[in-house]
Amino acid sequence: MADGVDAIQEGWRRERPDFPVESIGVITRIWRLAQWFSDDRRRTLRALDTDPSTLDLLSTLRRSGEPYAMTPAELAEASLISAGAISQRVAKAERAGWVHTERGASGKRTSRVRLTEAGLWLNEQLVGDLLAHEQTLVEHLSPGERAQLTELLRKLLAGLG
Amino acid sequence: MADGVDAIQEGWRRERPDFPVESIGVITRIWRLAQWFSDDRRRTLRALDTDPSTLDLLSTLRRSGEPYAMTPAELAEASLISAGAISQRVAKAERAGWVHTERGASGKRTSRVRLTEAGLWLNEQLVGDLLAHEQTLVEHLSPGERAQLTELLRKLLAGLG
DNA sequence: TCCCAGTTGTTTAGACCTAAACTCTTCCGC
DNA sequence: GCGGAAGAGTTTAGGTCTAAACAACTGGGA
């Protein structure tokens, strides 16, 4: 039961038997899984006229709880992307009407990005559907395997710093 | 021992206790690990004046064995990226002197991309160093855990089709 | 032999990201 | 108060990808 990643490992073992190829089995599979899940999400969301970046923005605001408002700096930290990318995501979501930027009193530099009613409603729909769908994607593994995998991933991630 | 992914899960559990959040623990961690490994590789390669796309191209050719030559279509299939992206990767690597495109007899449409001596040499250095480095990244896990993780990832990937 | 549909490769338009430059505000220390 | 450094947000340049348009060869059937 071999997959494309085994083929890569075997290629290197054949060509350079002295190279340590064990990490490929973990890291390359993680890359492929990430790509697969990303593509799947992009396809699903495109059919609903949105995209993963916008969903991530709305979900971050939603998860923060009432009043569903955060500063750009907070959003950047929570989303693990640059502040510049947040500006662009917010501009796009604002054009679509999902969020509204509240600027401080005249000329203030600070601002807060807040979910609109429409944005809140959209997010509830999308997240509910997506989580249900993604649950089915991991159910090829038994409950025990899922728990084991979760723990191993957590440990690997924690070990990286 | 909680990480940022647990915070996301707890956020949803608090805001929407009816949503099935188990998949987040697997999928989001896979995304974060993929991002971490990608960033790490990009940083490492930038210090050596290259980038992951170029390394992937050279490695695919190298792994194919003598004479280290493939057509663009074969490269696209092996690399899991579009043919257009291959054109651009090849153009860049050719400018740097790592590969050479051999076109068929006058006016032929077919072509083969071949590693140059310099490209072969560069690849040996980079892959040797990277694999040694990446081995250290997974050694926070015991040998048994690494084997278990590899199997679970393989099974999850296979289950996606 | 000729035609045209399919295949192969390249180019271009459009996304989205990062990094860095830039603008404006805030606030510390004198 | 004042001046300038630090902080916050936006804009822009550059890079890489996909999707789609485009260009050019190939090969089977009339």
The CATH number of residue B146's host domain is 1.10.10.10
Q: CA B89, C1' C18: Å apart?
A: 20
The answer as to whether A141 is a domain residue is yes
What distance in Å separates the CA atoms of residue A151 and residue A149, rounded to the nearest whole number? 5
- Residue B5 belongs to domain spanning: 1-47
The answer as to whether A132 is a domain residue is yes
Q: Indicate the pLDDT class of residue A49, thresholds 50, 70 and 90.
A: confident
Residues B59 and B18 in one domain: no
Q: What is the pLDDT of residue A48?
A: 87
Residues B64 and B135 in one domain: yes
Query: What token pair was written down for A33?
Result: 């899984």
The answer as to whether A93 is a domain residue is yes
The answer as to whether A27 is a domain residue is no
- Number of structural domains (chain B) is 2
Contacts of B82 in chain A (CB under 8 A): none
Q: What is the pLDDT of residue B161?
A: 76
Per-residue pLDDT of chain B (161 residues), as tens digits, is: 788 899 999 999 999 999 999 999 999 999 999 999 999 999 889 888 899 999 999 999 999 998 999 999 999 999 999 999 999 999 999 999 999 998 765 455 678 999 999 999 999 999 999 999 999 999 999 999 999 999 999 999 999 87
Q: How many CB pairs under 8 A join A and B?
A: 183
The answer as to whether A128 is a domain residue is yes
- For B137, the closest chain A residue by CA position comes to A160
Q: What is the pLDDT of residue A135?
A: 95
Per-residue pLDDT tens digits for A69-89: 999 999 999 999 999 999 999
Q: CA A146, C1' D8: Å apart?
A: 42
The answer as to whether A84 is a domain residue is yes
Residues B35 and B102 in one domain: no
Residues B79 and B111 in one domain: yes
Tell me the nt nearest to B109, Cα to C1'.
Answer: D25
CB contact set of B113 (below 8 Å; sequence gap of 6+): B57, B61, B69, B70, B71, B72, B75, B90, B99, B100, B101, B102
Q: Say if residues B134 and B146 touch (Cβ distance below 8 Å).
A: no
Q: Indicate the pLDDT class of residue A104, thresholds 50, 70 and 90.
A: low
A127 to B35: CB separation less than 8 angstroms, yes or no: no
Residues B37 and B88 in one domain: no
What dihedral do alpha carbons B109, B112, B118, B120 form, nearest 10°? Answer: 160
| pLDDT at residue A41 is higher than 60 | yes
Is residue B93's beta carbon less than 7 angstroms from any atom in nucleic acid strand C?
no
Q: What is the pLDDT of residue A105?
A: 53
Residues B80 and B26 in one domain: no
Residues B37 and B58 in one domain: no
If we measure between CA atoms, which residue out of B114, B118, B121 comes closest to residue B72?
B114
What is the distance in angstroms between the Cα of A106 and the nearest Cα belonging to chain B? 34
Q: Indicate the pLDDT class of residue A109, thresholds 50, 70 and 90.
A: low
Average pLDDT taken over every residue of chain A: 91
